[in-house]
Amino acid sequence: MSTLQIGLMYGGATVLALFSGIPIAFALGGVATMFMMIFMPAASVDTIAQNVYEELASITLLTIPLFILKGAAIGKSRAGKDLYDALHTWLNRVPGGLGVAVVIACGLFAAMAGSSPATCSAIGSSGIPEMRRRGYSPGFAAGLVAAGGTLGILLPPSIVLILYAVASEQSLGRLFLAGLGPGLLLVILFAGYAMLHWRTEHRRATATADAGGARGDILLVESFTFRQKLAALPRVAPFLILLTGVMVALYGGIATPSETAGLGAVMALLLIAAVYGAWRLADVKPIFAGTLGESGMLLMIIGMSLLYSYVMSYLHISQGAAGWIVSLHLSKWLLLIAILILVIMLGFFLPPVSIILMTAPIILPPLRAAGFDLIWFGVVMAVVMEMGLIHPPVGLNIFVINRIAPDIGLGQVIRGTLPFVMLMALGVVILSLAPGIAMWLPDIVYNK
């Protein structure tokens, strides 16, 4: 049987298994095992458990539960609300400062917690009601928080980038640094849009008020004394110190990525105990339960995805598919667009972890051959996966917003996120035109 036929059968069996409703981890593991039994030497299948152990026994992969623990600890505390409140008091004089505060709070919280849903939930639970109270439209408020939350998979410690580092055999330190510039770019794009949107809504409300209509809440001017501004800082400062401390430990040569994950988790637990008094069993239990559920599920998918990729490689399916893509002789940018569309479409059904591990052996060789830097591509891929978090059919963040602000209709939330999907697409275009936005920092730090 030819590689093409085996590859088509492998793909078909995978689609069938996934859509039958078998958990993703076991669907991938099951298909891989079945093909090992049929197409590989009889002894191969005896090593499946060992294969999974050896793939998982990577200290880089095992940073994931610890980064999740750190995110769950910070996400369960009131740190998000305090962070947002502090930024709000400091930025209230900026036109559209409330929206800008939400975006910056999302970026900082995402960098501390490393989780998109946790960011949406933490910042949105105080940011959305406050924006609505101040006259912002519900759809815009929801869209802004949903989009801000996506920064969690771009800014370090992003689990998506950790997996990409493993799958592409690129330096995790360089990838984390490469995510910072594009993260900042998206923060600027989102904040700029928030300011423009505020200006439009403000102008409309002013016209209505001038014409003798009701005076909209968006016209209210709120001011804070310097004392109030200073009072907002003490609760936020420890978390910002944690954020910078972790980065200094990682890039100052003090700790490896795995040690940074452990250090960050322990520090986060100590901080929420010290700042919020969250040290009792009742406080800690949901943090560990959440960590266990998410990390167990993710690592099981990762282990089985790696087994799946191993079989794909052994049977020359990935090499054959990569060779076929190269043989199409697509132009460099057409190849990139085709691959990004594939990533978006897979994102309709699969979580980012599976997409990265399953597609990396197929898409990375042609991209490398076309002259793309794989660190740069990892960041672009993360931005594209961010888009998947706020557009249907998956749109994880849309559903998180729906949970924390159930009175905003799903349709309104989706309409509110659409401008941000466009802004992210614009971000990808800007990154393609100016790859230095992603690459300058790792190049400087690592003395390319």
Residues 246-275 interacting with another protein (rule: CB under 8 A): 249, 254-255, 258-259, 261-263, 265-266, 269
Told to check if 27 binds another protein by CB under 8 A, we report yes
Residues in Cβ contact with 10 at an 8 Å cutoff, skipping those fewer than 6 apart: 31, 35, 311, 312, 315, 317
Residues in Cβ contact with 350 at an 8 Å cutoff, skipping those fewer than 6 apart: 18, 24, 358
- Closest of 149, 159, 153 to residue 106, by C-alpha: 149
Told to check if 349 binds another protein by CB under 8 A, we report yes
Applying the rule CB under 8 A, the residues between 188 and 247 that interact with another protein are none
- Closest of 194, 189, 118, 115 to residue 159, by C-alpha: 115
The least CB distance from residue 275 to another protein, in Å, is 18
Residues in the interface with another protein (CB under 8 A) total 72
Nearer to another protein (CB atom), residue 206 or residue 258: 258
CB 261 within 8 A of CB 66: yes
Stretch near another protein under the rule CB under 8 A, chosen from 48-56, 168-176, 184-192, 330-338: 48-56
Stretch near another protein under the rule CB under 8 A, chosen from 126-134, 229-237, 295-303, 331-339: 295-303
Told to check if 49 binds another protein by CB under 8 A, we report yes
Tell me the Ramachandran region of residue 58: left when phi exceeds 0, alpha when psi lies from -120 to 50, beta otherwise. Answer: beta
The least CB distance from residue 376 to another protein, in Å, is 26
CB neighbour class for 123 (10 Å; exposed up to 12, middle 13-18, buried from 19): buried
Nearer to another protein (CB atom), residue 95 or residue 293: 293
The least CB distance from residue 90 to another protein, in Å, is 28
User: CB-hemisphere CA count at 13 Å for 114?
Assistant: 26
The least CB distance from residue 159 to another protein, in Å, is 10
Radius of gyration of the chain (CA): 23
Applying the rule CB under 8 A, the residues between 388 and 427 that interact with another protein are 393-394, 396, 399-400
Cα angle 343, 349, 354; round to 5: 65
Told to check if 283 binds another protein by CB under 8 A, we report no
Give the DSSP H/E element, type plus range, for residue 436: helix 436-445
Stretch near another protein under the rule CB under 8 A, chosen from 132-140, 170-178, 215-223, 285-293: 285-293
Q: How many Å apart are CA 298 and CA 114, to the nearest integer?
A: 15
In degrees and rounded to multiples of 5, residue 181 shows phi and psi of -60, -55
Told to check if 79 binds another protein by CB under 8 A, we report no
Stretch near another protein under the rule CB under 8 A, chosen from 3-11, 61-69, 84-92, 183-191: 61-69
Judged by CB under 8 A, the residue of 9, 18, 219, 338 near another protein is 18
Q: Give one DSSP letter per residue of 306-372, joined into a string.
A: HHHHHHHHHTTHHHHHHHHHHHTT--HHHHHHHHHHHHHHHTTTS-HHHHHHHHHHHHHHHHHHTT-
Told to check if 24 binds another protein by CB under 8 A, we report yes
Told to check if 22 binds another protein by CB under 8 A, we report yes
Q: 3-state SS of the chain: helix, strand, coil percent to 5?
A: 80, 0, 20
The least CB distance from residue 229 to another protein, in Å, is 30
Applying the rule CB under 8 A, the residues between 155 and 184 that interact with another protein are none
Told to check if 345 binds another protein by CB under 8 A, we report no
Judged by CB under 8 A, the residue of 6, 10, 14, 66 near another protein is 66
The least CB distance from residue 259 to another protein, in Å, is 5
Nearer to another protein (CB atom), residue 401 or residue 441: 401
Told to check if 305 binds another protein by CB under 8 A, we report no
In angstroms, the Cα distances linking 397 to 26, 195, 358, 386 are 25, 22, 24, 10
Both structure tokens of 358: 């399953």
- Closest of 72, 87, 59 to residue 119, by C-alpha: 72
Told to check if 291 binds another protein by CB under 8 A, we report yes
Q: How many Å apart are CA 392 and CA 228, to the nearest integer?
A: 41
Told to check if 129 binds another protein by CB under 8 A, we report no
Nearer to another protein (CB atom), residue 288 or residue 324: 288
Nearer to another protein (CB atom), residue 351 or residue 366: 351
Told to check if 9 binds another protein by CB under 8 A, we report no
The least CB distance from residue 46 to another protein, in Å, is 7
Told to check if 74 binds another protein by CB under 8 A, we report no
